[in-house]
Structure 1
Amino acid sequence: MVEEAPTLEHLDLTFSSLFDDLVEIPPHFLRSTAPNLSHIRIQNCSVPWASPLFQNLSSLDIGLPAPPVDDYFNTSVLKDVPSIPTLVELFNVLRNSSSIKRLRLFHALPFKS
C-alpha cells in the first residue's frame, strides 16, 4: 500500500507464521504520510525504523520472533537481522514520539549498536 493515509490513527501490522518468519514492510509504505497516526502495533514484521510513521505516537507495540535459544546471546548471529532496531534507531523512535504513554517491546530490544 503506497497511498497516503491522512486520517489513519491506528495501525496494526501482524504476520502469523508457524516458523517465526518475518514479512518485510517496504520503505515507502503509506508514502510515509499518516499525520494523525498515534498508535502502532507491529508483530513479526521488519519495518524501516527511520520511517516518519514513527513520529508523534502515543502507543507503540513491537513484537518480534524470539531468536533461537542457542544464539540468544551470540550477537554476531543477530547483527544483520534488519527487524531488530539498533540502539540509535530505537532512541530516535522514542525521541520522535516523546509523548508515548504505552510502550511494549517483545524480543525487540537491540542486540547491536
Structure 2
Amino acid sequence: MSTPLAIEGPAAPPRSNGELVFAEPWESRAFGMAVTLYEAGVFSWTEFQTALIARITAWTASREHGEPCHYYRLWLGALEDVLAGLSAVSTDEVITRAQALAQRSPGHDHRDHAR
C-alpha cells in the first residue's frame, strides 16, 4: 500500500523544495506514526485526511489574528481523532500518555519502558 503523500490543498504537509519539512523530531515521528498505521491498514488515508482537514478548519475558524499554524500539532490531533473514532485508543489514554510525555525532561528522546 503506498501512501498518497503527493496531496495538495489544506491537508498538504509543509515542504521546502519538494521535501517534507519537520521543525522538531516529534513532528517526523508523528508523521511516521500516521503513515505506518495507514500502511498497516488501521485506517484509510481518506479517513485521516478528513480528520486533518477538520482540525485545520477548526483552527482557522478559532485562531486569533496572526497566530501561526502548528501543522504537526493538528496532524497529531487528527491521528488521535481517527484512532479514538476507531476505538483503537481512548481519549483518556491519549491524554494520560501525553501528560506523561510532557513531564519528561528536555532532550529525553527515547522510549520509557516503565509503564
TM range (shorter): under 0.3
TM-score with structure 2 setting the length: 0.24
Higher strand share: 1
Between structure 1 and structure 2, the one with the greater Rg is 2
TM-score with structure 1 setting the length: 0.24
Which structure exhibits the higher relative contact order, with contacts defined as CA atoms closer than 8 Å and separated by 6 or more residues? Answer: 1
Higher helix share: 2
